Each structure stands twice: as structure tokens, then as C-alpha cells.
Amino acid sequence: MEALFILINIVVLLAIIGLLIYMQKKHVSFSKRVFTGMGLGILFGIILQAIYGEGSNVLTVTSEWFSIVGSGYVRLLMVIVVPLVMVSIIRSIINLEKTKELGKMAGWIIGILISTTMVAALVGIGSALVFDLNAEQIEVGDAETERAASLEARYAEIEDQTTPQRILEFIPNNIFLDMTGGRPTSVISVVIFSVIVGIAVLGVRRKKPEQADMFVKIVNSVYTVVMRIVTLILRLTPFGVLALMTNMVAGTSFTGIIELGKFVLANYLALIVMFILHLIIVGLFGLKPFTFLKKAFPVLGFAFTSRSSAGTIPLNIKGQKDALGVDDSVANISASFGATMGQNGCAGVYPAMLAVMIAPTIGINPLSFEFIIQLVLIIGVSSFGVAGVGGGATFAAIIVLSSMGLPVGLAGLLISVEPLIDMGRTALNVSGSMLSGTLTSRILGKLNIKKFNDNSAVVDATSV
């Protein structure tokens, strides 16, 4: 009987996919199809959990089958991230007239990412204090105990690393290993290697222009092919979002949400405040905040669903270039950097809230000026090299809590609501990345204002 129920669930998913394909044939816009998939996924997930119950075998097996579509889509995006980042950054640099332009560009992007993350830390601290969050208020069950032990084990792996040693991990010593994503800092290592290659080409252009021109032609050809692959994969976005959202909602512990409701509310309040601050900053630079939000929304929607900043890189680049009018070079670098450093949600809000919650358990006053300043500075430094996939926030939290002398195991108390809050964190990460690209392009005079204000210029998966 269980096999029959599982088959029915699969048939229903295929029917919804058929509806999305029909909408595509009727030329319904890409963003509308994405949000239709998201909405239907939420509804389908609620129905599945209501019928079969949380943790049932039917629901577990159904989710595994749905993962072929959802997780399979994310895996396709991840497989194109490294070649996209590498070829995009090399191409961006070799198209610059002077290496000095690269320094300005990277400086502004990194500066905006890190400064907004430190602001996000302050917002997280404020939200935790307003809601009077305390780790001692949370009940500990088997899942929480197991999670705490896992975090303690992970901390043991990096316990002996000093901050300079962690920074050293960013520098590649085996680019082929990093191209496989074998380390948490692999993406930033690929970025650094690509920057070195791009600068080298600029040097070759001055001494041996013919060889440089040949290399540039090869890079441009590879870039065209890679972007075509990106386009083909992004066309699957509505289906991937549908399956991802269905699995997330169907597998969500609503009991856990009720028990940790105050933390969930505090977390999302902090995230919403940061989103509003992003829009205010956009307005301060003479741009229309709601235009930015409208054009970034499809990208943020996918980030929310996939919980992967790195997986969102292709759509992030496309959204910045095609919808916001960001310069090609700036878009590529800001999307790549934004997936590995200065993540407002995972590296800013989340570790700050945990630190404030945990501090009273060992007799530290989270309201003290020294504690807050130390926490914000540590978050700013540690926000480099945060993994851009699900779990990056845990890595950031371990580094921050250990640097503050706080017990990392207590972070495991939030396991039941982790997927739910991770969705909002990832969306905020990507918003910060898009903000850094838009502002940097604006500051350097490279933003296409006409395209930014053009309502017809939107993210579209059908164009290269």
C-alpha cells in the first residue's frame, strides 16, 4: 500500500511539472513560473505532511524521489559554478584597461560585503536582546544532543587553527582539488587563482600581444559556451524550486517551530530589518529601492528555496547584468565574492544571535560594550571564506563562538528549525551580494541606469 501512495505522490509532482511546462509554452514569464512553482511546492508540502504525518516512511521515500528533481537541479548548478566563476573572472579582468581598475572594483565589493555583514551582526544582536533570547530556555532532546556532539567534533578539527592559518586556507595550493570543491574555501581559492591568471594575461598583453590575443579569444569562446550551459540549466529553475520547496515544507518540524517560535521570529525580524537597510542604502545612492527589490526578487526567491549561495551564483550574475544593469566585470566578481565572504545572513546575523543567546550561560553580559565590539569585529574578520552552500552558517558560528570563548555545542539546540531559518539567511546573503555589485557599479560609473530603470529588463532564463 505504501508503494501505491508513493507512486501517487510522484504522479502529482509530474502533473504539476506538466503545468509549469504548459505555462512555459504559453510564454508566461520566467519569474512568474518560478513563483508559481514555489507556491505550489508550499501547498503540496503542507498537504503531504497533513496526510502522511511528519517522519512517516511514505513521506521519507517520497522526498527521496522528489530530490531527483530538486537536489538534482542544485547539483547541476553547483557543477557549473567553478567553471563559471573561473572563466567569468578571468574574462572580466582581461577586459579591463588597467590592473588599477581591478583593485578599485574588488576593494569596493569586499568593503561593502564586510561592512554590511558587521551591520548585520549589530542587527542580530539587537533582535536577540529585544526578544530576550537565552540558550537555557531551549529544551534539549536526542536530536539536539546529537547535533551538539557533531558541532563539538567539527570544532575539534579547526580548534588548533589560528586566524592567520584560517586566512592561509584561502590561498590555493592545488587548484585541481579546489575545482572539485574539496575544501570549504574552494570557491574563494578558485577566485584568487582566476584573478592571478587574469593579471598575468594583462602582463602578457604588454609584452607578447599576439599570444595574449589568442588566449583572450579562447577565454571568450569558453565563456560563451559556459553561459549557454548556464542558460540551459536555469530553464529548469521552476521545476527545481517546486521540488525543493515541497520537500522542505513536507519535512519541516512544525512542533519544533512552535517550541522555538521566539527564536524564529527574532531571526526573521533581523533578516527583514537588514533587507530594509539594503533598500535604504540603494536609495541613498540615488537608485529606486523598489526597482532593485523587484528585479532582484526572482534571484532571492531561488536563493530562499535552494539554501545555496554558491548555487545561486549563475542566476545572481544573470540578474545583476540583465535586470539591474550592473557592469559585466562587477557582476561576475561580486556574485563570486558574495558566495564566499561577507554573507549578511550566515556570517552576520546568525553567529551574532547565537553569541548573545549563549553568553549568559557562562556568566558573560551580552550587553557589555566590550562584548559587542569584540563580537562585531570577530564577525567581520571571520566572514571571509564562509562556505556558500547549506551549512555555511554552522561553520561561521563555530569560528565566531570559539573565538569568543563560548561553547559551540549549544548551537546544536536549533537543529529543528535550522532549514527554515537557513532559507531566509541565504536570501539575505545573495541580496548583500547583489547590493555590493550594484553599488560598486554605481560608484565606478559603470551602472547602466537606463537598464536599471527599465521594467522590461528582467531575469530571463531563455536568453544567453
pLDDT tens sequence across 63-76: 999 999 988 988 88
Task: Look over the chain and give the mean of its residue pLDDT values, rounded to a whole number.
Answer: 82
Calculate ∠ Cα 391-415-386, nearest 5°: 20
The pLDDT, as a whole number, for residue 278 is 96
Of 288, 278, 284, the residue nearest 429 (C-alpha): 278
Percent with pLDDT over 70 in the chain = 84
Q: Which pLDDT score, from 0 to 100, does residue 253 have?
A: 66
Determine the Cα–Cα distance for residues 78 and 347; give it in Å rounded to an integer: 21
- 44 CB-near residues (< 8 Å, 6+ apart): 12, 13, 16, 242, 246, 249, 250
**pTM tops 0.85:** no
At residue 341, the 3 state secondary structure works out as strand
Longest CA–CA separation in the chain, Å: 73
Res 407: pLDDT: 75
Question: What local confidence, expressed as pLDDT, does residue 447 receive?
Answer: 92
Q: Mean pLDDT, to the nearest integer, of 317-335?
A: 89
Can you give the pLDDT at residue 462? 46
Amino acid found at 288: K
Domains in the chain, ordered, with CATH?
Answer: 2-453 (1.10.3860.10)
Q: Are 386 and 340 in contact (CB under 8 A)?
A: yes
Alpha-carbon distances of 195 from 113, 161, 242, 316, rounded to whole Å: 18, 26, 36, 20
Q: Which three cell numbers stand for residue 435?
A: 547590493
Average pLDDT over residues 305-333: 86
Ranking 87-101, 158-172, 238-252, 381-395 by mean pLDDT, the lowest is: 381-395
| Closest to 332 measured CA to CA, from 105, 103, 115, 113 | 105
Count of C-beta atoms within a 10 Å radius of residue 9: 24
Q: How confident is the model at residue 99 (pLDDT cuts 50, 70, 90)?
A: low
Which pLDDT band holds residue 22 (cuts at 50, 70, 90)? very high
Instruction: Flag whether pLDDT at 149 surpasses 60.
Output: no
Instruction: Please give the pLDDT value at position 254.
Output: 64
**390: confidence class by pLDDT, cuts 50, 70, 90:** very low
pLDDT band of 126, cuts 50, 70, 90: very high
Tell me the C-alpha to C-alpha distance, in Å, between residue 219 and each of 208, 214, 449.
Answer: 17, 9, 28
Q: Where does residue 345 rank: exposed (0-12), middle (13-18), buried (19+ CB within 10 A)? A: buried
Q: Which three cell numbers stand for residue 334?
A: 561580486
